Chain A
Amino acid sequence: MLFQFNAQNQKKFEELLSHYPTKVAALLPTLWLVQEQEGNISFEAMEVVANLLDVSPAHVYSVATFYTMYHLKPVGKHHLQVCRTLSCALMGSENLLEHFKNKLKINEGEVTPDGRFSLCAVECLASCGTAPAMMVNETYHENLNVQKVDQILKELK
């Protein structure tokens, strides 16, 4: 089965096209829409997007690999993105990342065998005043410490 947008996203996609004078300008939001629907962006979906926007599949691939937030492979149900840039690092994010690795027994870029968690370190989340911070999927968690993240992990089923 080829990738296709569900009815609701097809509508959203058409709405997106109306925002721009060219089709290719809708590339970033279209990839977001794919990820929203599928959880990640497969090569197959990239080809479909290329077709929808009249660009080469290779162009879509180059764009998808340029950004860090597009998942080319499936991530965990809860995608943990720990900020590692200076302000968070000053407040101990390196330890936090180690803690996650030990606790979940996975490295950065990996998914737990049960598919619940995936872990990655990310650059500055603009949460420096409430460091250290992380995102779980799209939700910010701030002013973290080991106890707090243990609690968060417990609550994430």
Chain B
Amino acid sequence: MNAPKKQLVLTNRVGIPDSHTLAVYQKTGGYSKALSKTFSQTPDGVIEEVKNSGLRGRGGAGFACGMKWSFVPKNTGKPTYLCVNADESEPGTFKDRLLLEKDPHQLIEGIIIACYAINCHTAYIYIRGEFDLSYKRIHKAIEEAYAQGILGKNVLGKNYALNVYIHRGAGAYICGEETALLESIEEGKGQPRIKPPFPAVVGLFGCPTIINNVETLSALPFILSEGATAYKKWGTEKSPGTKLFSVSGHIQKPGVYELPLGYSLKKLIEENCGGMTAGKKLKAVIPGGSSVPILTAKDVETMMLDYESAIAHGSMLGSGGVIVMNEDVDMVWALKNLTRFYAHESCGQCTPCREGTGWVDKILYRMLHEGGTNEDLNLLTDISHNMMGKTICVLADAMAMPVLSYIKKFPDDFRNHFRRTGSSPRAKVI
């Protein structure tokens, strides 16, 4: 994985040998200024600082982090839990894996800060089952932290106890959805829960729970040690700070890039990533993981990497997984690849998603292998609309949005798969 050239908030230790060890972490300023600032103020003070920083959740939804924390009810008589979402599974996204492998202590420090802010004494790191090296590194880092009194009964000698446990997933994309993640820990099967109640009020084991992404938590040590103002130096007014972008596909230098929000997507592709491979032309870019609407080369010209610009371009910033595709890519093929993914990953709970993901995938398979019709495009569009916003979680939307945008933005690719004559055979209903 390529380290970004410019060192900012999250990736400062990437590239330093043994950056995952406690020794290197402490040598480079870890577990000191941020924690002493944290413990020198009230939990509400910490929440205020994070609110001021404008940090938004980096898992995909982009919800304001400090705001989320403030939803935790006080004095419920129940414990509060923190769940760290390290179930990074959004296609095209590999930034949390970098943070887990290269800087696990930064995450642990972020966990301590968050837990102190929400008065939580138990945190679970839900890590995806495939992440073996990440698991080993974070496991080792937790051991080191306990041994040094950074975790445990008295965090850094303070009258504050914190236990951190790792909970390994076992191969299910849906467990990255926050309520599915809770179910996966609590009952085993990761099926999203109906909201409300929201996890901040009724979450893990029926207790108030905050679920934060690895990247969100990893930004906290910087925000606490350098202050909200320093953090806000980067980014735009509404999307302050930096964000990690995982870039993959047909580009010269794929990898994780830490960039200030509001950075030009075109510049990221052409300059940071060294442009397209094999001298090919850019055709399409997925800017925020496979679940967000796709962009054309023309969209890329003006799109800035912040939450607002993404929406203005009909897409979303999502997880920051940037997948770059060149002129040779058949968008029907690309979409079919993703619809298989969603059909495979649908938890099977809600009717529109359980049945719709598989149906769309089968139609695209037929278009790709036997040819389709204009009627099929209308059908795909209609099915997508029938799926969106009708289910417990947004996995259905996560497939419907790409389907709609691929058809809208690359209609010619679909026309290329039309059959010459006749229309599709239709099954008869009783």
CB of B92 within 8 A of CB of A87, answer: yes
Partner of A126, one of B88, B124, B172, B247: B88
Q: Is the CB of A128 within 8 A of B168?
A: no
The residue that B130 contacts in the complex, of A62, A70, A84, A126, with Cβ under 8 A, is A126
B residues within 8 A CB of A68? 170-172
Q: Does A48 contact B (CB under 8 A)?
A: no
- Other-chain contact of A25, B90, B129, B185 (Cβ < 8 Å): B185
Centre residue among B90, B171, B255 by max chain A CB count within 10 A? B171
User: Which residue on A lies nearest to B277, using beta carbons?
Assistant: A91
Determine the distance from Cα of A123 to Cα of B90 in the docked complex, in whole angstroms.
10
Residues of B within 8 Å of A, CB-based: how many? 55
**Are B169 and A126 closer than 8 Å at their CB atoms?**
no
Tell whether A22 is near chain B: CB-to-CB under 8 Å: yes
Q: Give complex CA distance A95, B290 in Å.
A: 22
A19 vs B83: C-alpha distance when bound (angstroms) = 13
- B226 at interface, CB cutoff 8 A: no
Chain B residues contacting A67 (CB-CB under 8 Å) are 129, 169-172
Residues of B within 8 A of A125 (CB): 130
The answer for the CA separation of A87 and B246 in the assembled complex, in Å, is 11
Contacts A/B (CB < 8 Å), 18 sampled: A20-B165, A28-B185, A32-B129, A85-B341, A86-B323, A90-B250, A90-B325, A122-B130, A124-B92, A124-B93, A125-B130, A126-B96, A126-B131, A127-B94, A128-B323, A129-B94, A135-B132, A140-B133
The answer to the question of B304 belonging to the interface, with a C-beta cut-off of 8 Å to chain A, is no
Query: In the complex, what residues of B have CB within 8 A of residue A130's CB?
Result: 1, 254
Question: Does any Cβ of A come within 8 Å of B91's Cβ?
Answer: yes
Chain A neighbourhood of B96, CB < 8 A: 126
B165 partner residues in chain A, CB cutoff 8 A: 19-20
Pairwise interchain contact B91-A85, C-beta atoms closer than 8 A:
yes
Interface stretch (choices B56-64, B186-194, B233-241, B390-398): B186-194
Contact status A69-B130, CB under 8 Å: yes
Q: Could you tell me the distance in whole angstroms from the C-beta of B48 to the nearest C-beta in chain A? A: 31
B97 interfacial by beta-carbon distance below 8 Å: yes
Contacting pair A69 B97 (CB below 8 A): no
Distance in Å from the Cβ of B350 to the closest Cβ of chain A? 15
Task: Report yes or no: B89 in contact with A126, Cβ–Cβ below 8 A.
Answer: yes
Q: Within A103-126, which residues are at the interface with B (CB < 8 Å)? A: 122-126
B130 and A59 form a contact (CB under 8 A): no
Q: A22-B205, A87-B248 are in contact. Are A128 and B329 (CB under 8 A)?
A: no
**Nearest Cβ distance between residue A144 and chain B, in whole angstroms?**
14
In the complex, which residue of chain A has the Cβ closest to the Cβ of B290?
A86
Q: How far is the CB of A88 from chain B (nearest CB, A)?
A: 9
A52 to chain B minimum Cβ distance, whole angstroms, is 13
In the assembled complex, the Cα of A91 lies from the Cα of B248 at a distance in Å of 9
What sequence of 0s and 1s flags, for each residue 24-48 of chain A, a beta carbon within 8 Å of any chain B beta carbon? Answer: 1101110110000000000000000
Bound Cα distance from A125 to B130, whole angstroms: 7
**B36 on interface, CB distance cutoff 8 Å:** no
Contact in complex: B168, A124 (CB < 8 Å): no
Counting CB contacts under 8 A, is B374 at the interface?
A: no
B168 touches A87 (CB 8 A): no
**Binary flags per residue of A61-97, CB closer than 8 Å to B gives 1, else 0:** 0110011111000000000000011110111000000
Bound-complex Cα distance A68 to B338 (A):
18
C-alpha spacing A70/B290, complex, angstroms: 25
Contact, CB under 8 Å: A25 / B1 = no
Q: Are B323 and A139 in contact (CB under 8 A)?
A: no
Q: Which of A25, A70, A128 contacts B170 (CB 8 A)?
A: A70
